[in-house]
Amino acid sequence: MQPSLIQATRRRRGFGAQAPTRRHRAVVCVLLLLVACAPGVAQQPQPQPQPAPPAATDEFVPISQLPAQDQLPAAPLLVTAYAFVWVALFGYLLSVGRRLTKVQREVDRLESDIARGTRT
Amino acid sequence: MPKWFMPLLGVNAVMFAAAPFLIARADYESTMGLVQKIFYFHMPSASMFLLSAVVCGIASARFLFGGSPRQDRLAYAAAELAVLFGAITLVTGPLWARKAWGVWWAWDVRLTSSLMGWMVAWAYLLVRKYGGPGSDKLAAGLALFGMANVPFVYISVNYWRTIHPKTSVVPTLPADMGTALWFSFACFLLLFTLLLRVRVHLEEQRAKLDTLYLSLDE
Amino acid sequence: MIRTAWLILRKDLTVEVRSLEIAYTTLFFAVSCVLFFAFALVKEGKAPEDGAAGILWIAIAFAGTLALGRTFERERQSETLRALLMAPAARPAIYVGKLLGIVALLIAAEIVLVPLVAFLFQAPLLSHPLWLAAVLVSGTIGFAAVGTLFSAMLVRARSRDVLLPVLLYPITVPVIIAGVRATAELLQPDGELALVRFWVALLLALDVVFVTLALWTFEPLMTD
């Protein structure tokens, strides 16, 4: 049976928020750690005059269609890309965490109800 | 959740914190300069996207032919991760391409087949959510076709004239770029494993909830 | 097994010929599609380059989706699919029978569409008739192979009308791309036949992959 079907047919309200579990707190700590690393990424060293790059990097030369004068600043693109990665991973972790807490709460409530022998 | 989950999550967080420093230390590429550094997150995300599609396909096949609900939960989790990592790939790629190729998007084989694979993953999620009874098998059938797309995505750059770099780029990376890349790859691989475990755990809890509701009825 | 497939094909064709409902509606829809695109894309009396090839294949894809939906809706209404599955017939044979029926329907539509597109877009679609036939047949088989499998699966699902395109279109993108590129190459006055050969080879490879996958998964997917 699909979980969504069963839950849809029984609308139940949870009782007040449970105390944050250890797992919950650990997830928040990890997220804060990831946030703290953002400045590390933002502090990209400014492009410094480099020694001649090794010849092997030539493999990376793509077909460039930009005329020489149409140069885009690269930093905003780079920062946006990394920022998107963090936001997407963050957002997903939060989404899973939220869904998990919701289901966990329901499970705990049902288990305690069954243990008490009462029908909800 | 298994005992290894929390420690590994901590390890992964530390790895992700260290990755930007390795990436910053890596050499600049001669023609693309700073923007090429998107590569160190773009390539591992793309690999994780393809890996998710393969995991989803194999789990779907085992579910279809074996009927094990565990495989079905694994397939569902892997499909969601395929959408996540595919989205990251399809956003970081064009951001890089805007500077490297001059265009946000090109309809070459690699990009088109990746977009198609991503849409198959989305379709999987839509079918699971809105398909009603029997949608688990429907989606499993879809996932098998999606998995058939994965080898094609990988080899497409080698056999067609495309604007996307070939797979020969990765084995020929110089040492500092290689270190940064494989370290980021390890970060993403570990993250993929952890996210998969968490997501499967969510499905297991949902299944547990169902059995609890069912037992209440008796 | 071939006999079973042939029986199913004959049954479908007989039912269809009696009323020709799906044939007429699919054909009309395909023609309207082509006209719609013609009105949308023609500027100052000229169609865009390669427009004919793309429009032809889009019309085939849309009409095919409609035909698939209608064919299996008919099965669902009379519960004949369940009867078929309960009969002592090999499941793959049922699949092949239905596939051939859909392919026949689509080829019939294409026989009307090709001259229409050639006429509307002044495209020399009939300059290499054998190659065009090869492209169309292999592309249609690829599209129908996936479509038949998914339509059969969706017969008992909710929101089946919307889910069929959702499932079908991403998977058949390679078939459509190959079909359009091959047809476009055939339309060029100096088109390279080697390139067309390549696309047809790709289409045939896709056909083999899709039909094999479909045959393999038809049984578990149709079992409740």
Cα(B130)–Cα(A63) distance, integer angstroms: 43
Token duo for residue B53: 């599609």
Of A41, A47, A81, the CB nearest to B92: A81
Asked if A62's CB is within 8 angstroms of B163's CB, the reply is yes
Whether pLDDT at B214 is above 60: yes
- Is C132 in contact with C185 (CB distance < 8 Å)? no
Which of B74, B205, B215 lies closest to A103, judged by CA? B205
Please compute the mean of the pLDDT values over residues C62-87 and round it to a whole number: 82
Q: What burial class does residue C2 get, using C-beta atoms within 10 Å of its C-beta: 0-12 exposed, 13-18 middle, 19+ buried?
A: exposed
Answer whether residue B83 shows pLDDT above 50: yes
> Any contact of C with A, at least 3 CB pairs below 8 A?
no
Q: How far is C24 from chain B (nearest CA, A)?
A: 30
Residue C188 CB coordination number (10 Å): 15
Mean pLDDT in residue range B115-137: 88
**Mind listing the pLDDT tens digit for each residue in C155-203?**
877 777 788 888 899 999 999 999 998 988 888 777 788 888 999 999 9
Chain-chain contact of C149 with B112 (C-beta, under 8 angstroms): no
**B132 touching C (Cβ < 8 Å):** yes
pLDDT at residue B77, as a whole number: 96
Average of per-residue pLDDT across B172-176: 83
- C102: burial class by Cβ within 10 Å (0-12, 13-18, 19+)? buried
- Residue C131 has, within 13 A of its CA and on its CB side, a CA count of 24
In a domain? residue A27? no
Residues of B in contact with C171 (CB under 8 A): 116, 120, 142, 145-146, 149
Quickly state the pLDDT bin for A8 (edges 50, 70, 90). Answer: very low
| Cβ separation B138–C157 shorter than 8 A | yes
| Mean model confidence pLDDT for chain B | 89
Lookup: tokens for B175? 């040492």
| Residue C171 to chain B, least CA–CA distance (Å) | 7
Tokens 């936001």 belong to residue:
A87
Find all residues with CB under 8 Å of B111, minimum gap 6, and list them.
B93, B105, B164
Of residues A5 and B85, which shows the higher confidence score? B85
Q: Nearest chain B Cα to A23, which residue? A: B6
Pick the closest to residue C108 from C12, C196, C39 (CA basis). C12
- DSSP track, A46-68: P-PPPPPPPGGGGGG-------T
State the pLDDT at residue A51. Answer: 44
Q: Does residue B117 contact residue B78 with C-beta atoms inside 8 Å?
A: no
Report CB contact under 8 Å: C150, B123.
no
| A38 pLDDT more than 50 | no
Q: Which of A18, A9, A5 is nearest to A107 (CA)?
A: A18
Residues B182 and B47: their CA atoms lie apart, in Å, by 12
Percent of chain A whose pLDDT exceeds 90? 21
Mean pLDDT of chain A: 64
pLDDT at position A67 over 70: no
> In this structure, is residue A113 part of a structural domain?
yes
Beta carbons of B96 and A77 less than 8 angstroms apart: yes
CB-based contact C22:C16 (threshold 8 Å) = yes
- 3-state DSSP call for residue C124? coil
| Pairs of CB atoms within 8 A across A/B | 174
Chains that touch B (3 or more CB pairs under 8 A): A, C
CA atoms within 13 A on the CB side of A57: 18
| Of residues C153 and C125, more confidently modeled | C153
Q: What span, in angstroms and rounded, lies between the C-alpha atoms of B133 and C6?
A: 32
- Confidence check: pLDDT of B217 > 90: no
pLDDT of res. B215: 84
pLDDT for res B88: 95
The reported pLDDT for the residue numbered B59 is 96
Residue of B nearest to C146 (CA): B145
Closest residue by Cα to residue B113 from B78, B143, B86: B86
Q: Using alpha carbons, select from C29, C26, C34, C78 the residue that is nearest to residue C54.
A: C34
Q: Residue C149: list chain B partners with CB under 8 A.
A: 141
Q: Which residue of B has its CA nearest to C154?
A: B138
* Interatomic CA distance for residues C147 and C193, integer angstroms: 29
pLDDT of residue C117: 85
What's the pLDDT band for B36 if we cut at 50, 70, 90? confident
**CA nearest B20: which of B213, B184, B209?**
B184
The mean-pLDDT minimum among B49-53, C7-11, C52-56, C132-136 falls in C7-11
Return d(Cα A35, Cα A32) in angstroms, integer.
Answer: 5
Give contacts of B142 with chain C, Cβ < 8 Å. Answer: 150, 167, 171
Q: Is residue A97 part of a domain?
A: yes
Burial-class residue C161 by CB neighbours within 10 Å (0-12, 13-18, 19+): exposed
Give the whole-angstrom CA distance, residue C128 versus residue B18: 61
Q: How confident is the model at residue A13 (pLDDT cuts 50, 70, 90)?
A: very low
Q: Is the Cα torsion angle C147, C149, C152, C156 positive or negative in sign?
A: negative
Question: Do the Cβ atoms of B9 and A26 come within 8 Å?
Answer: yes
**Per-residue tokens: A103:** 């289901």
Predicted pLDDT of residue C86: 76
Give C42: exposed, middle or buried? Use CB within 10 Å, 0-12, 13-18, 19+: middle
Residue C83 in tokens: 């009867």
- What whole-number distance in Å separates Cα of residue B49 and Cα of residue B118? 8
Burial of residue B105 (CB within 10 Å: 0-12, 13-18, 19+) is middle
Domain extent listing, chain B? 5-217
ipTM associated with this complex = 0.87
Query: In Å, how far is B179's CA from the nearest CA of chain A?
Result: 14
Instruction: List, in sequence order, every residue forming a beta bridge with C43; answer none if it has no partner.
Output: C46
Instruction: Give the pLDDT confidence score for residue B79 in this predicted structure.
Output: 96
Q: Is A35 helix (H, G, I), strand (E, B) or coil?
A: helix
| pLDDT band with cut points at 50, 70 and 90 for residue A30 | low
- Provide the pLDDT for residue B188: 94
**Residues 20-79 of chain A whose Cβ lies under 8 A from any Cβ of chain B:** 23, 26-27, 30, 33-34, 36-37, 40-41, 44-45, 47, 50, 53-54, 56-66, 70, 72, 74-75, 77-78
Quick one: which H or E segment has residue C31?
helix C21-41
Does the CB of B58 have a partner CB in chain C at under 8 Å?
no
Query: Quick check: is A96 in a domain?
Result: yes
d(CA B158, CA B49): 19
Rounded to whole angstroms, the Cα distance separating C105 from C64 reads: 9
Q: Any CB–CB contact under 8 A between B161 and chain C? A: no
Which chain B residue has its CA at the smallest distance from A47's CA? Answer: B34
Range of the domain at A112: 77-120
